[in-house]
Structure 1
C-alpha cells in the first residue's frame, strides 16, 4: 500500500502540474468566467476529457495485489485493475462545468478505460457518468455566488464521496465479492485520500485564479470609471487634435500601455507614447489595420509588427488593439492601444478595450448632442437678433406704415407676414428639425417683407417636388441660403437679380439647391465657406458655417453642404440630406 501511495502521489502531482499550466493560459481563465455558455462548456469537455485520457494512460496496473511496472498503459490484461486519477479529473470537471460537462467527461473517461482492456470493467462507464453528473449537481447547489466554485473543503469531501462510490461499483461488479473486497483493501485508502487531496489542490488553484480575475476586473472597473470621468469633458468638445491629445494622455496613464493613438476617419489626431516620432498628428490613416476597422466597424487585434502595419523600420510597436468609435451608429474614428511586447496584450486588455469603446462612443455622442444644442441655440439667437434688431424691425414697420396710406390691404398682408415670420422663428428655435413646408412658408414670409422694401429687385422662383413636403430638414436651412444670396450675391445691383430654389428627391435623399445669377464668390472665400466663420461686410459671417456644422452633427457623413460658382455666372449652394419623415 505504501508503494502504491507513492506512485499515486506522482500521478496526482502530474495532474496538479498540468492544472498549474492550464490556469496560466488566458483562454482558460476566460472559460472559467464564461463557463455557463455552450461554447465554454464544449471547450471544458475537451480539456477535461483530455486530462481523463492522460489519467488512464498514466494509471498503475495491479494484478492480485501486485503492482506491475509500466510508465504508459495503452492496454492491460483481462484480470488486471488500474489505480489512477480518473475520478479526480471527472470530479473537477463536474465542479467546474456542471452536471452536463461532468457526465460527458465521465463518459469519455469510462469508455476509454474500457478500451484499455478487461471487458469485465464495463461498469466504469456508468459509474464515471454518475460521478460526473452527481458532482456537477452538488457543485451547483453548494456554491454561494454566481461565478464562484464550491469551497475547497466541500470539494474535498465531494471528491472522497465520489471515490467511495467508485469503490462500491468495484465491489458490486467484481468477479466475486472476495476479489472485489481484496482489491478495495489494497487500493481504496490511497485513491480516496490522494484523489481528495488532489481535488483540493486543483480546485484551490482554480478558485485563486478566478478570484484574481474578478479582483482584476474590479480594479479595472474602478480605473475605467475614473478614466471615463476624466475624458468626458474632452470628448464633449468633439474629435479634434487638442482634445484627443489630452484624452490619449489620460488613457495611457490609466492603462499603462506603450502608446495610445486616436484618429478620425481620415487622419491621426493624437499619438502619445512610443512611436510618437513617426506616428504624427495630421498624417493620413494609411495602415491596412486602421482602414479595415474603419470599414468593418469591428474591434481588431494585431499580435505582430507585420499585422500592426507600420512602415517605419525602427517602430517599437509590436501589437495593437484597434477600437472603432461610433456616434449615432456611424464610425467617427478609432482608438488604438499599442504594445511593445505582444505578451502584454492579454484577454484583460481586450475586455478593457471593448468597454472603453462603448464608453467613449457614448461620450462622443453626448458631446455631439451638446454641440447640436449649442448650434441650434446660436442659430436661434442669430436669427432672432437679425430679425428683431431695430434696423430690420423699423424698416419693416416703416414699409407697412407707408403702404397703409396707399394700399391698406397690402399693408395688412405684410403685417400678417411679419407676424408669421416671427412666429416661425420662435417655432424653429425649439426644434431640431422641421417640415419642408414650414421652412418654405418661413422663407416666403421673409421674402414678402424684403420685396415690399425693394419692389422688383429680386425675382425668386420655387421649384418644389410635392413628395419632398413629407420630409424634414434643420430649421433655417433654406432661409439661410436664400438670405445669404440676397445679402451677398448681388452687391448693389438693383435689377435682373434671379434666385432659383429647387427642392426635390433624388436617390433616396432630400436635395436642396439654391442658384443665383449674381457676381459669384471670390475663390479664396469659396474654399472656406461652410468650413469656418468667414468675415462679412454685412452680418456676422457665421450663418453658412453654423448651417454646415448643424448638418454634419445631425446626419454625419450622410449630410453634405456644397457651394460652387456657376460657369455662366453666379453661385450654387446645395444641401444633401437623408430622408427623415417630419415629426
Structure 2
C-alpha cells in the first residue's frame, strides 16, 4: 500500500504541474469566468485531456495485486486494474465547470478507461459520469462568484468522489482491490483536488488585488488629468495629460491626437511621433475616421511608416464629445505580448472618463461664452455633494468588492456625461433621460443597498422628446426629501403616458408627504428649509413654462401617504 502511495504521489505531481501551467495560460483564465456554451466545450476538452493523461500515467495492478510500473499505460489485460488520478481531474472539472462539464468529462474519461482496459470494466463509464455530475452539482451551489470552495471543502468533495468510485469498484471488482487502493487514492485524490483548486483561488485572489490597485490608480489618474482635459484638446493640455497617464499605467508610450495632428506623444518612439505633425499611423487614422476602438497585436497592424519604430502593439480609442470623435487616445507597448485583456479594459474605461472630462471642459467654455441663464440653471443640476459622495463610496468599495466599484465608476461616468449633454440641449429622447435616472439611482443604491425601489410604467415611445433632467430632478427630490430617515420600503414610481397630443409625466413616492405650508410655494420660489431650498424644482418649473407655456407647470399633490408630481408637455417624437 505504501509503495502504491509513493507511485501515485509521483503521478499527482505531474497533474499539479500541468495545473499550474494551465492557470498561467490567459485562454484558460478567460474560460473559467465565462458561462457560454463555447467556454463549457473548451473546458470539457481541456479536462478530458487531463483525464486521459491520468489514465495513461496510472499504476497497473495485476490479478494477484502486484504493482507494474510503466511510463505510459496505453493498454492492459482485461484481468488487471489501474490506480490513477482520474477522479481528481473529474472532481476539479465538476467544481470549475459545473455538473454538465463534470459529467461529460467523467463520461469521456470513463470511455477512455474502458478502451485502455481492452473493453473491460464498463462500470467506469457510469461511475465517472456520476462522480462528475454530483460534484458539479454540489460545487455549483457552494462556490461564490469570485472564488471556488475552500481547501478543506474541496478535500471533502474529493473524498466523496473517491468514495463513489470505490463503491462501484467494490461491487464489480471485489473487496480485495478496494483494500489495496482505497486509502492511497482517497488521500491523494482529495489532497490533489484541494491543491488544484487552491491554485485557481490564488490566481483569482491575486487578480482581485490587482483590480483594486488598478481602480485606485485610475481614480488618482483621472483626478490629476481633469484640470488639463477641461482645457480642451491642445498641445499643452495633451502633453501634461500624456505624462500623467504614462506615470500611472504600464504602457511604454502614450499619445493623444486631434482629428488631424499629433498633440502629444510621451515615451517610446517620441523621436518621430512629434507634437504638431500630422497623424502617422494607419491605425490612428482609421479610429479617427470610424470612431471605433482598434487593437494592434503586431507591429504591422500599427502601420507606422517609420521602419525602426519600436512600437509593437497598441490600443487606439476615440475621444468623443456629444457623439462626435474629436481625437484619439493611443496606448503602446514595445512588446506585443504585453497587451492583454486587463490593459484593454483599462484603456476603454480611461477613454470614457477622458471623453467626459473633455465634454465638461466644452460645457464650461460654452457657459463662459454664452450668457444664457437656462444653461446656468442646468449646470446647477450637477450636484458636487452627490459627486463626492459617489467617489467616496467607490473608494470604500475598492476594499470590499472591486467589481461593484468598477460598475459604480461606470455609472458615475454615465451620470456625469448625461448631465453634461443635458446642458447643451433643450429636449432629449426619453430613453436618454431614463438612462440618466438609472445611473443616478444605481449610485444611490450602491451607497444605500435595498433602501430604494424604482419602478416604471412607460406607455410611450423611447424616442419621444422630453426636457433634460425632468425625471432626474423629480426622482432626486424624492430621494432627498420624501423618506426622512426611513431605511427601507421606500418606493418611487415613474410613469410616462401619451394622452392625445400631450405627454403626461408623473413621479410618485410613498414618502411622508410635504408640509402644506410649503406645498403652494414649492416649485415657484426658493424656500428656506432645513432639508433644502427647492431650487431644482423651481428651475425645472421655469424651464417647463419657458419651453411650453404655463399649462406645463409642475402639478404637485401630497399627503402623509406620499407625493406625486406631474408634468404635461406637448407630445413630440424624434
Deviations 1:490-531 (A, max 9, x none): xxxxxxxxxxxxxxxxxxxxxxxxxxxxxxxxxxxxxxxxxx
Superposition deviation, residue 190 in structure 1: 1.1
Match of 2:188 among 194, 200, 203: 194
Report the 3-state secondary structure (helix = DSSP H, G, I; strand = E; otherwise coil) of the residue aligned with 1:98. helix
Q: Which range moves more in the overlay, 262-271 or 251-260?
A: 262-271
Is the 8 Å Cα contact of residues 60 and 70 (structure 1) preserved in structure 2?
yes
Following TM superposition, by how much is the alpha carbon of 1:148 offset from its aligned partner in structure 2, in angstroms? 1.1
Give 2:149's aligned residue.
150
Who is 2:75 aligned against? 75
TM-score (norm 1): 0.61
Secondary structure in structure 1 of the residue aligned to 2:78: coil
Q: CA deviation at 1:183?
A: 1.0
Distance 1:100 1:320 in 2: 39
Check whether the contact 1:27–1:347 (CA below 8 A) recurs between aligned residues. no
- Give unmatched runs, 5+ long, in structure 2: 376-422, 428-464, 466-571
Q: How does 1:422-461 map to 2 (within 5 A)?
A: 432=425
Alignment of 1:218-229 (within 5 A): 218-229=212-223
CA distance in 2, matches of 1:188, 1:331: 67
The structure-2 alpha-carbon separation of the partners of 1:38 and 1:269, relative to structure 1 and needing over 3 Å to count, comes to farther
**C-alpha separation in 2, matches of 1:226 and 1:13:** 44
1:119 alignment partner in structure 2: 119
Evaluate the alpha carbon distance shift between residue 378 and residue 193 of structure 1 in structure 2; reply closer, same or farther with a 3 A threshold.
same
User: How far off its partner does 1:91 sit?
Assistant: 0.7
Instruction: Summarize the Cα distance change of 1:151–1:380 in structure 2 as closer, same or farther, 3 Å threshold.
Output: closer
Residue 94 of structure 2 is matched in structure 1 by 94
Determine which of 340, 347, 365 is the counterpart of 1:346.
Answer: 340
Q: Does 1:184 align with 2:178?
A: yes
- Residues 307, 374 of structure 1: alpha-carbon distance in 2 compared, 3 angstrom cutoff: same
Distance change >3 Å, CA 365–CA 316, structure 1 → 2: same
* Residues 165, 264 of structure 1: alpha-carbon distance in 2 compared, 3 angstrom cutoff: same
Aligned to 2:523: none
**1:16-57 deviations in whole A, cap 9, x for unaligned?**
11111112222323333x233444333322221221122122
Aligned residues: 383
* Conserved 8 A contact 2:59-2:70: yes
Q: CA deviation at 1:250?
A: 1.0
**What's the offset of the Cα at 1:96?**
1.4
Counterpart CA distance in 2 for 1:37 and 1:147 is 17
- Give the Cα separation in 2 of the matches to 1:331 and 1:77: 71
Contact 1:95–1:149 (CA<8 Å) still a contact in 2? yes
* Partner deviation per Cα, 1:261-312 (whole Å, 9 max, x = no partner): 1112222111111211111112222322223333444433323333332232
More displaced stretch, 114-123 vs 3-12: 114-123
Give the C-alpha shift of residue 582 in structure 1: 9.7
Structure 1 residues 119-151: Cα deviation after superposition (integer angstroms, max 9, x where no partner) = 3422212211221121122223223x3211110
Q: Where does the alignment leave 5 or more consecutive residues of structure 1 unmatched?
A: 175-179, 382-429, 435-470, 472-580
Match of 2:225 in 1: 231
Task: State which drifts further: 314-323 or 246-255.
Answer: 314-323
SS in 1 for 2:122: helix
The alpha carbon displacement at 1:230 in A equals: 1.8
* Deviation (angstroms), 1:257: 1.7
Counterpart contact for 1:258–1:274, Cα < 8 Å: yes
- Give yes or no for contact 2:280–2:305 (8 Å, CA) kept in 1: no
Aligned to 1:22: 22
Larger radius of gyration: 1
> Which residue of 1 is the match for residue 483 of structure 2?
none
Instruction: Quickly say closer, same or farther: Cα 1:307–1:83, change in 2 above 3 A.
Output: same
Which residue number in structure 1 is paired with residue 208 of structure 2?
214
Aligned to 2:56: 57
CA RMSD, aligned part only? Answer: 2.6
1:29/1:210 contact within 8 Å kept: no
Higher alpha-carbon deviation: 22-31 or 153-162 = 22-31
Task: Kindly report which structure 2 residues correspond to 1:320-335, keeping only aligned pairs within 5 A, or say none.
Answer: 320-335=314-329
Distance 1:139 1:310, change over 3 A: same
Q: Please, which of 234, 241, 248 is the counterpart of residue 235 of structure 2?
A: 241
- Secondary structure at 1:121's aligned position in 2? coil
1:334 is paired with a residue whose SS is strand
1:254 to partner: Cα distance: 0.4
Cα deviation code 1:71-119 (max 9, x no counterpart):
2223222222221111111111111122222122212212222222343
